[in-house]
Structure 1
Amino acid sequence: MASVIQQVPADDLVLLRVTHSNIKSFLADIRFYRQMTVEAVKEKLWKKCGTSVTSMRLELYDDSGSKISELSDNMRPFGFYSPQDGYRLHVIDIDPSSISAGGWIDDTSLVEKYTISNEAYDKLDGTFRKFKEHLPQKDTTTSEAKVRLSHLPVCVKIYLAHGKYSNSQTSKNNCM
């Protein structure tokens, strides 16, 4: 049995780029059915961008950026406004008390950050700092350097002559 999406004609779906007036970083490509009401489109957008249906105004722009229309009648079908693939649907949040209105979502510098003193952090259990202290210390001294100074002229000659190291495994190990 075919799914509901497979039963819908392809020309009934439209792919639009969605932008938001308050959230500059919000950009999404969303598919809509042309037979949906404008209110149903707003409900779908509410789930994507967070602006409530009652606080949302929609504007439709063509692919060149020219405004085609404002979707003002919630009961009209979305297809009435003749949306095409590649058009842009712009969400305008008219709620002045919206969380996105003051730039709180885009600009994280407006949000107060949690800070803790080093002394208070040291008293906590299960911190990364305590985990790191319990790790075994890595020995940074090696018994043999990869490139021995006495082999350096040989390595240079092999590399220059062939454009790469020789096929000999010992030469590779000594020259890397």
Structure 2
Amino acid sequence: MASLLHVEVDETVFLRVTHSNLSHFAADVRFSLQSTIESVKEKLWRKTGTSVDSMSLQLYDDAGQKVCDLSDNQRPLGFYSPRDGYRLHIIDLDPSSVTAGGWLEDTSAVEKYTISEEAYDKLGFTFRKFKEKMAPQMSTANEDNVKDDYEDLAVAIKVGDRCQVEPGEKRGVVKFVGRAETLPPGFWIGVQYDEPLGKHDGIVKGKRYFDCPPLHGAMVRPDKVKVGDYPERDPFEEDEI
């Protein structure tokens, strides 16, 4: 009699991770729903520096509403029913933590070297003098670069193409090809990722270039994009923590 092989699937979820003391820190991370909260904290400790004992976790939905506190270290993450696109917020409870006060991101207290304009002008060779010497040549070169910047690569990419974006081999579909008035000169490719690995929903600096779900959109240069037969990946083949 033929026997059936039972394969247990370890389900995963994509969460945006933020930190109470690190205003500029945000990462999209895939977690196993079978991992305990303590295990999740250990992985996050390696990413942020907040110790497990000093870490409190909160779960927010994709509308920004708090769902719950992940208070039981022995519970699996799946017990709290997180969904793709939810936010996992780290609260560092240690007032002496390396992240306390935001000083890891604050460079205002760093003493800066200063020099007077008179003393700077007396220096033999400076970057300012180099720029003044090269200005006419750089101006002409910049005009040429703005005109042709990535255009030769962009013509081979069409809206609707399946693609893979480097670095990270992120897959998705092309949603925009062209110049973007709110971005630096040259051609840009708008991509809707298959997973929430992007930064926006198609709106960049106040202008909408395409439509996609939140955190699925990205604007990248054509040299980062490969088009072809790139089907959506099985989520269970991805690395997880």
The residue that corresponds to 2:57 in the other structure is 58
Unaligned 5+ segments in structure 1 are 1-6, 120-127, 130-136, 141-176
The residue that corresponds to 2:38 in the other structure is 39
RMSD (Å), alpha carbons: 3.3
SS of residue matched to 1:53: coil
TM-score, with normalisation over the residues of structure 1? Answer: 0.59
The residue that corresponds to 2:110 in the other structure is 112
Label 1:113 to 1:52 Cα distance change in 2 as closer, same or farther (>3 A). same
User: How far apart, in 2, do the equivalents of 1:61 and 1:37 lie?
Assistant: 18
User: How far apart, in 1, do the equivalents of 2:15 and 2:8 lie?
Assistant: 18
State percent identity of aligned pairs. 59
User: How far apart, in 1, do the equivalents of 2:33 and 2:113 lie?
Assistant: 50
TM-score, with normalisation over the residues of structure 2? Answer: 0.44
Deviation at 1:116, TM superposition (A): 8.2
Q: Does 1:73 align with 2:72?
A: yes
SS of residue matched to 1:54: coil
The Cα offsets for residues 4-40 of structure 1, whole Å up to 9 and x where unpaired, read as: xxx873x711000001001000010001000000000
Runs of 4+ in 1 over 6 A off after TM superposition: 116-119
Q: Which has the larger radius of gyration?
A: 1
User: How far apart, in 1, do the equivalents of 2:87 and 2:12 lie?
Assistant: 15
Deviation at 1:112, TM superposition (A): 2.5
Instruction: Give the helix-richer structure, 1 or 2.
Output: 1
Deviation at 1:103, TM superposition (A): 1.7
SS of residue matched to 1:43: helix
User: How far apart, in 2, do the equivalents of 1:117 and 1:64 lie?
Assistant: 50
Q: How many residues align?
A: 126
The residue that corresponds to 1:17 in the other structure is 16
SS of residue matched to 1:102: helix
